[in-house]
């Protein structure tokens, strides 16, 4: 993978993003910071200063502490991670955002419960089967990124939300635009278009309800939830529900290709795949700039430092998942490691609502792909795979394989 050289900072602060010489590994600079100072001052790509949290305990402490929020008292001047409107800076009103988030979570949670997701599992498995069959029928080579890692999460979230087949790839342009690292104009246009798309979607579901989450939200509370609010929830789900998963699917396949011994172990007996998926989620590195962001709502002591009111805090989960205080041989990919929760999907009251869905998609793919294609291999060396640098969520541009 080609990575940009480390930028030097006039104040001597480490500058994000760190150089990542190995696609499957956390940047050495992040692990070095973790060993020396798990809460460190860094410079973001926008030139702002932030606190980078790389320690496992510290990351969980920030997640669990309401004095760290997603909004900022003065959003216009708040420190940012990137230009992207939605992902680069604070969101929502300082006074109401914490309660709004809880409300949104409570509204959505029933539709993504483990029970609902179990009922949806056969559909996810059937979709995976048919996508793999299509890849096989088209014959080698194939780009698993486009033909599987993008198609599956997009199809799954669109089926859940009731997005028509013809619209499924239109919204992806916008979600990628929203995540643009440097082009604020593109990010703004994309967000406007995404919102207009979800508003049309809600209007359609009001007129012709279906068996999907948006139609159900339209019916909830006797149909009194405002359309604009449902459109906002839909946009949030379209965004949260696919790009993150695309990146992890690519990396899960790569990890298994790079570690045939671990692949064998993951399938050695029934019941081994689920812990293997947890280990994959622990070690995946998305390569993007996007991390979980918080802004201190008051002065808060954390480890050896005090985070100042209004400061930006960047939770670097990939480094926290390799904290040697918590995980033995933390940089080793070991599917039989004793279970210990990672922080890839967040923690506590902020834990990812899509977690059961993500696990299901990873299991559906991994349990099938290597039996259908026992000779699956990359057609380019791992270090020539192209990373996507223009979007905060990172990931690969392509995953070229043959079998």
Instruction: Using CB under 6 A, pick the residue from 272, 350, 368, 389 that binds ligand HEM.
Output: 350
Closest approach, Cβ 402 to ligand HEM, in A, equals 26
Kindly give the pairing relationship between strand 377-378 and strand 312-315: unpaired
Q: How many residues bind ligand HEM (CB under 6 A)?
A: 20
241 interacts with ligand HEM by CB under 6 A: yes
- Burial class from Cβ neighbours inside 10 Å (0-12, 13-18, 19+) for residue 358 reads buried
Looking at beta carbons only, is 234 or 353 nearer to ligand HEM? Answer: 353
CA 24 to chain centre: 16
Q: Which is nearer to ligand HEM, 222 or 255 (CB)?
A: 255
Of 225, 352, 397, 398, the one binding ligand HEM (CB under 6 A) is: 352
Q: Quick one: 205 or 248, whose CB is closer to ligand HEM?
A: 248
**Beta partners for 247?**
none
Q: For CA atoms 338, 340, 344, 349, give the dihedral sign.
A: positive
Q: Verify binding: residue 82, ligand HEM, rule CB under 6 A.
A: no
240 vs 398 by CB, closer to ligand HEM: 240
- Minimum distance from residue 112 beta carbon to ligand HEM (Å): 5
Indicate whether 237 belongs to the interface with ligand HEM (CB under 6 A): yes
Pick from 264, 198, 263, 255: nearest CA to 232: 198
Which residues in the 276-315 window bind ligand HEM by CB under 6 A? 292
Which CB sits closer to ligand HEM, 187 or 244? 244
* 245 part of the interface to ligand HEM, by CB under 6 A: yes
Give the neighbor-by-neighbor strand order of the sheet with 39-43: 39-43, 49-53, 312-315, 292-296, 68-69
Q: Which of 154, 181, 201, 357 binds ligand HEM (CB under 6 A)?
A: 357
Binding pattern for the stretch 116-145 against ligand HEM, x by CB under 6 A and - elsewhere: ------------------------------
Q: Is 230 in the site for ligand HEM (CB under 6 A)?
A: no
Taking CB under 6 A as the criterion, the residue among 61, 346, 387, 403 binding ligand HEM is 346
Question: What CA–CA distance (Å, rounded) separates 265 from 271?
Answer: 11
> Which residue in the set 101, 121, 184, 389 belongs to the binding site for ligand HEM (CB under 6 A)?
101
Residue 2 or 86 with smaller CB distance to ligand HEM? 86
Residue 17 · residue 45 · CB < 8 Å:
yes
Peptide bond before residue 141 is cis, with ω within 30 degrees of 0: yes
For position 353 contacting ligand HEM by CB under 6 A, the verdict is yes
Q: Is the peptide bond before 146 cis (omega within 30 degrees of 0)?
A: no
Q: Are residues 43 and 11 in contact, defined by beta-carbon separation less than 8 angstroms? A: yes
321 binds ligand HEM (CB under 6 A): no
217 binds ligand HEM per the rule CB under 6 A? no
DSSP conformation letters of 75-113: GGGS--S-S-TTTSS--S-TTTHHHHHHHHHHHHGGGG-
Nearest to 392 by CA among 2, 45, 71, 82: 82
- CA–CA gap between residue 69 and residue 62 (Å, rounded): 9
Give me the residues that bind ligand HEM (CB under 6 A), please: 101, 105, 108, 112, 237, 240-241, 244-245, 248, 292, 344-346, 350, 352-354, 357-358
């Amino acid at each position: 993978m080609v990575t940009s050289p480390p930028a030097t900072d006039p104040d001597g602060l480490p500058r994000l993003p760190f150089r990542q010489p190995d696609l499957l590994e956390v940047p050495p600079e992040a692990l070095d910071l973790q060993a020396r100072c798990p809460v460190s001052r860094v410079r973001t790509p926008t030139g702002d200063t932030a606190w980078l949290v790389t320690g496992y305990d510290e990351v969980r402490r920030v997640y669990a502490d309401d004095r760290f929020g997603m909004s900022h008292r003065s959003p216009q001047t708040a420190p940012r991670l990137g230009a992207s409107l939605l992902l680069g800076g604070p969101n929502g009103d300082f006074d109401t955002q914490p309660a709004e988030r809880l409300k949104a979570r409570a509204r959505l949670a029933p539709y993504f419960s483990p029970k609902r997701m179990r009922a949806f599992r056969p559909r996810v498995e059937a979709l995976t089967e048919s996508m793999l069959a299509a890849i096989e029928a088209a014959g080698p080579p194939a780009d698993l990124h486009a033909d599987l890692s993008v198609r599956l999460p997009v199809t799954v979230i669109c089926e859940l939300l009731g997005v028509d087949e013809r619209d499924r790839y239109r919204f992806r342009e916008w979600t990628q635009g929203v995540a643009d690292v440097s082009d604020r104009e593109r990010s703004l246009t994309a967000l406007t278009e995404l919102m207009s798309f979800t508003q049309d979607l809600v209007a359609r579901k009001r007129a012709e309800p279906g068996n999907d989450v948006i139609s159900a939200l339209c019916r909830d509370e006797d149909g009194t939830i405002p359309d604009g609010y449902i459109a906002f929830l839909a946009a949030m789900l379209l965004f949260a529900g696919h790009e993150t998963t695309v990146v992890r699917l690519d990396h899960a396949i790569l990890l298994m290709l790079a570690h045939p011994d671990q692949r064998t172990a993951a399938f050695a007996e029934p019941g081994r795949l689920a812990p293997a998926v947890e280990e994959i989620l622990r070690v995946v590195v998305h390569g993007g700039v996007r991390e979980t962001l918080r802004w201190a709502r008051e002065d808060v002591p954390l480890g050896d430092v005090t985070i100042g009111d209004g400061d930006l805090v960047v939770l670097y989960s990939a480094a926290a998942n390799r904290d040697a205080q918590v995980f033995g041989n933390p940089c080793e990919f070991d599917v039989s490691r004793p279970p210990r929760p990672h922080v890839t999907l967040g923690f506590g009251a902020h834990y990812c609502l899509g977690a059961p869905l993500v696990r299901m998609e990873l299991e559906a793919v991994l349990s099938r792909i290597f039996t259908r294609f026992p000779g699956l291999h990359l057609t380019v060396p791992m270090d020539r795979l192209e990373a996507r640098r223009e979007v905060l969520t990172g990931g690969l541009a392509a995953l070229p394989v043959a079998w």
